[in-house]
Structure 1
Amino acid sequence: MDPLLEANGTFALNLLKILGEDSSKNVFFSPMSISSALAMVFMGAKGDTASQMIQALSLDKCSSSGGGDVHQGFQALLTEVNTTGTQYLLKTANRLFGEKTFNILSSFKDSCRKFYEAEMEELDFQGDTEQSRQHINTWVAKKTEDKITELLCPSAVNSDTLLVLVNAIYFKGNWEKQFDKEDTREMPFKVTMNEEKPVQMMFQKSTVNMTYVEELSTTILLLPYAGNELNMIIMLPDEHVELRMVEKEITYEKFIEWTRLDKMDEGEVEVLLLRFKLEENYNMKGFLCKLAMTDAFDSRADFSGIASERGLFLSKVVHKSFVEVTEEGTEAAAVTAAIMMMRCMRFTPRFCADHPFLFFIQHVKTNGILFCGRFSSP
């Protein structure tokens, strides 16, 4: 298994568990976006700060002296993800926005450009904070097809901001077999055993890959997008099983094992999946601290690989995400900004997602988890 993909997958599932500690809330984020932005930050981290980032991002799975393998791995992964000529639209972009009076090491800028195709753009955070903020938001909106327009709120940056590292990812793909809108109808979604909410449930009878994991009492369904290069993977526990139990049991190794095509049964299934849209907004600092990445956010931070001046630290890591699932397919976008400052009968099986479930958008060739989420309540 590719060490970086294992690291990113482990980080994705660790984060899913932490973001989803309140089981009543929906969750949606792009682990690839967060990993990419923080990997650029990691490139300039030293000492305990770097060690903690390795632990938080599960990068200990990548053999590295100075993280070279990590950054080469991201370079290859981002190249693969940004492949053109596909039947879907998938693109990711990185950018550095630095205070024009602040001297960022040329070695750091060169490495960001080499491994992450992240160009450096100088802005006037000191003299015109608001103009700088709007400029970054405009770049983000362009890279996400206007799905995320206000990444940085007015309080996110100020005149002390020295560097903002941004990753944006955007995906739009049609289902390999689209749902017929005429078959969509209102059905109850069982939020809990005692609560139901009406939703628009899509329906199709089609040949798909599906399996049942006995140890979790959970059905896993693969819904391919056109071209079969990306899948939506849906994990639906039996109605008597709490989704939290499934989340606790998942590891990346198990995830890969359960979703292997040769372990799945291909056959005709009646698929019922609700039409939904989620928009989420996270301040990642608290979640990353729970993964033991603490020094980066305070005076102990060592980012001497970014600038020779002492006192540079991460003030915020913000993440915004959007997903819409319809009869035609899926559109999803996410952006991460790391802000640095000084300081036996024959029958047709049925898969009915009418109660809380997990879902993932996976890149087939790399097994990379591009997006993941939990749908708990309409």
Structure 2
Amino acid sequence: IFYVHQSFQSFLAEVNKTGAPPLLRVANALFGEKTCGFLSPFKESCQKFYFSNVEELDFAHMPEAARKHINDWVEEKTEGKISELLANDSVDVMTNLVLVNAIYFNGKWEKPFDKAKTAEKMFNISEQKPVQMMYQRSTFSMTFIEDIPTQILVLPYAGGHMDMVILLPVENKHLKMLKKRLTSENLVDWINPEMMNEIEVEVFLPKFILAEHLDVEVILQKLGMLDAFDKTKADFSKMSARNDLCLSKVIHKAYVEVNEEGTVAVSSTAAVMMTRSERMSLEFKADHPFIFYLIEKQTNKIVFIGEVTSP
């Protein structure tokens, strides 16, 4: 557990450090019912490891005011991209605890796309749909995973701190296979500099906006996190002297926009033997579904993951 705390501490210190380019900012907050009596060691740990304060609100008597206060905090931290994290009636007099994580990323491409070269092209799903397809010919890091088969392209952002990694299956039918193989360990292997080729390539990439709202508690429960949602089993005794605290909802909202200039991204929550592939295409044409990652290079941490199926 301590290792997890330290890892987050190092990551947050790196991305939020004074003087760093304002590409990526991460903010955390805990809003608790003022009668919970949060313990001092817990508050100190929140500040030490997550640079987060515990703010006490009057959920019991003014739940709507508390909801608006939290939404205002999220809107400020995400530069207005997420204005309504907590919907009407999502907070009531029984609410004791709201945990919020907000991430804002606004990156400009190291090699921007020329708007004059953006044109309408077809994107192939089960049927075809027209999209605004960006284009440029330049030198980028690429590789090819033979056994999936999938092209991987790295698009760097200005400043040298962030990369977008795009995983493009050769055909739509390979996407399911790619998802099964997606692990953090495999991704690290796939984008190892020793496995990449610096190559001049024609890049076709659709402009896209992704907006997602998830009730994460169902996902967490399927992963086995059950006790935290059960008032009779939840144990938050290291946080508060009260014995009736439990989680009720975990909400995640994300927003990602990719265009010619760069990316705006916001959220508010088997070993493979490889060799440097010689099967390199001079064209990277993302005209069918693909997966992308945003990676912070100093810490090698994945900040965003997305799947584009219909831009």
Compare 306-315 and 255-264 and name the one that shifted more: 306-315
Deviation per residue, 1:234-280 (Å, 9 max, x gap) = 00001253312100012211110001122101010000000011110
Partner of 1:349: 282
Aligned pairs (5 A) from 1:41-190: 67-190=1-124
Deviation per residue, 1:103-125 (Å, 9 max, x gap) = 11122111111111111222111
User: Counterparts of 2:189 and 2:116 in 1: how far apart (Å)?
Assistant: 36
The reply to whether residue 215 of structure 1 matches residue 143 of structure 2 is no
Q: CA RMSD in A?
A: 1.4
Which residue of 168, 172, 182 maps to 1:250? 182
Contact 2:36-2:242 within 8 A present in 1 as well: no
- What is the TM-score when the length of structure 1 is the normalising length? 0.77
Partner of 1:288: 220
Partner of 1:26: none
Partner of 1:303: 236
User: Counterparts of 1:309 and 1:227 in 2: how far apart (Å)?
Assistant: 47
User: Counterparts of 2:80 and 2:172 in 1: how far apart (Å)?
Assistant: 40
Aligned with 1:316: secondary structure?
coil
The reply to whether residue 367 of structure 1 matches residue 276 of structure 2 is no
Q: Alignment identity in percent?
A: 52
Aligned with 2:250: secondary structure?
strand
Contact 2:148-2:174 within 8 A present in 1 as well: no
Structure in which a larger fraction of residues adopt helix: 1
User: Counterparts of 1:264 and 1:302 in 2: how far apart (Å)?
Assistant: 47
How far off is 1:88 after superposition?
A: 4.7
Query: Alpha carbons of 1:348 and 1:97: their partners in 2 closer, same or farther (altered >3 Å)?
Result: closer
Partner of 2:272: none
User: Counterparts of 1:186 and 1:157 in 2: how far apart (Å)?
Assistant: 44
- What is the TM-score when the length of structure 2 is the normalising length? 0.93
Deviation per residue, 1:198-243 (Å, 9 max, x gap) = 0000000010000000011000000000022210000000125331
Which residue of 211, 214, 237 maps to 1:279? 211
Contact 1:320-1:334 within 8 A present in 2 as well: yes
User: Counterparts of 1:229 and 1:196 in 2: how far apart (Å)?
Assistant: 36
Dislocated runs of 4+, deviation >4 Å: none
1:231 partner letter: D
Give the length in aligned residue pairs. Answer: 300
Contact 2:136-2:202 within 8 A present in 1 as well: yes
1:85 partner letter: G
User: Counterparts of 2:286 and 2:20 in 1: how far apart (Å)?
Assistant: 29
User: Counterparts of 2:213 and 2:193 in 1: how far apart (Å)?
Assistant: 34
How far off is 1:76 after superposition?
A: 1.1
Which ranges of structure 1 fall in alignment gaps of 5 or more residues? Answer: 1-66, 337-346
User: Counterparts of 1:88 and 1:307 in 2: how far apart (Å)?
Assistant: 36
Greater RCO structure (CA 8 Å; 6+ sep): 1
1:320 partner letter: K
Partner of 2:135: 203
Which residue of 152, 155, 159 maps to 1:227? 159
User: Counterparts of 1:273 and 1:240 in 2: how far apart (Å)?
Assistant: 16
Contact 1:223-1:231 within 8 A present in 2 as well: yes
Contact 1:87-1:227 within 8 A present in 2 as well: yes
1:228 partner letter: G
